[in-house]
Amino acid sequence: MLFLIFAFVGFSFLAVSGINYITDFLLLSFMLYAFELSGEHPQLPAAEVLSVLTSRGLETFVFEAYLNCLVVDISSPDPAVADDEIFQMLKEEMPDVLAMTHSISKVIDIADVSEEAILGAAEKFRAADYLDEGETFVVRAKRAGDNFVLKSVDLEGRVGGCIYRQGFRASLKNADKVFRLTLTDKAIFGLLVSAVDRGAYEFRSPQKKPFFYPGVLMPRVARALCNIAGVQAGTIAVDPFCGTAGILLEAGLLGAKVIGVDAQEKIIAGADSNMGGYSKSTGRLLSKEERCLGTDLPDYDLFTGDACGLPLADNIADAVITDPPYGRSAAIKAESLERLYAQSFKEMYRILKPGKKAVVVSEIEVGDFASDAGFEIENVYKQRVHRSLTRTISVLIKK
């Protein structure tokens, strides 16, 4: 008890006499990474990051959620997995996986958003811990918020000067290491681990695909939903309302075996054109000659069928991701929209493995359909598409 009293008094003294000591202690106690988020949705980008990490067997603790920046402590429950292995995974795998993240940095320090605090952090930074002899560096700053007070300050140059004075050479074009300064609610100084080429998703925009049909999800949203559902290499992902295969294509490019079902034969034919039109290794549209070869394609099967009676075995899917139809024609084909949803949710539950997730996009609330089928509701997100359309994204778990 006496030890606890002294510990509490000591901690309180640090809190009063110098907040930087507490910050240093906390930063040393965690393996922190900063994910610069796209900001295109208030919740989905962070949900995507955490789902991707946990689906790969890593343990996560949200150290802090700032404006468009998530700082996460990442570790492995397996003591054989070294911190360097996590770093390499974030560097090599994540840029091709995440859709709603701009970059990942290993956190070096977190300071207040002021010139004095940022330069103070840079002055105490030991560059030799991150740069080998002879390596060059560059400092890049990114403003996640307004931070008007710092717009006239050459932070990149002044922070770079602190590193230069430690004996390291800068290179603006071909630096060996990039130090990232993210200005959000706090100033997060870190070593850039990887950057996501979000522009690559534009090559798979609906209107650029071999078969186009209006009203489908954009590729970045489809990819994020696949990640939230836990799709990765070696898993089986199912879309019982696959349409033109926008969701399936993103799941297939993640390395999953994908299965799609749709009620219309012409739509399945179009989905086949889309699935067979893209390189699995690059995500780019194949030439006509490459398509004829039929190599380097995602692993997929497509069926014309009824989502209310899927031609699939029980407990076959590791993930279900789907965007069911909402229109009158769908209701007529299934006798009623209510029956379509009620029965299709039961089928999704039947084919999904226990402990796995279904992610369903809809224009209506589907909580009752999901609960009646046996699902537990993990999260519900809203996405405003335009004035007359708000999507509901339901994340469901089969216990």
**Residue 62: in which H helix or E strand, if any?**
strand 59-66
pLDDT tens for each residue of 233-247: 999 999 999 999 999
Q: Which long-range contacts (CB under 8 A, 24 or more apart) does 197-202 make?
A: 197/95, 198/38, 198/99, 198/102, 200/283, 200/284, 201/99
- Of the candidates 281, 188, 207, 297, the residue with the CA atom closest to the CA atom of residue 246: 207
- Of the candidates 180, 200, 189, the residue with the CA atom closest to the CA atom of residue 103: 180
pLDDT value, residue 151: 75
CA–CA dist 316, 24 (Å, integer): 48
CA distances to 213, 309, 326, 359 from 241, rounded to whole Å, are 14, 12, 11, 12
> Which two tokens mark 57?
């067997």
pLDDT value, residue 49: 98
Phi/psi of residue 150, nearest 5 degrees: -105, 5
pLDDT value, residue 327: 61
Q: 74: helix, coil or strand?
A: strand
- Read off the pTM: 0.91
Q: Are 89 and 56 in contact (CB under 8 A)?
A: yes
- Give the chain's residues under pLDDT 70: 1-29, 145-149, 152, 327-335
pLDDT value, residue 207: 95
Q: How far from the centroid of its chain's Cα atoms is residue 205's Cα?
A: 18
pLDDT value, residue 147: 63
Q: Are 136 and 177 in contact (CB under 8 A)?
A: yes
pLDDT value, residue 10: 38
Specify the length of the chain in residues.
399
pLDDT tens for each residue of 110-151: 999 999 999 999 999 999 999 999 999 999 999 986 666 677
pLDDT value, residue 149: 62
Q: Are 327 and 214 in contact (CB under 8 A)?
A: no
pLDDT value, residue 119: 95
Provide the 8-state DSSP code for 176.
Answer: S
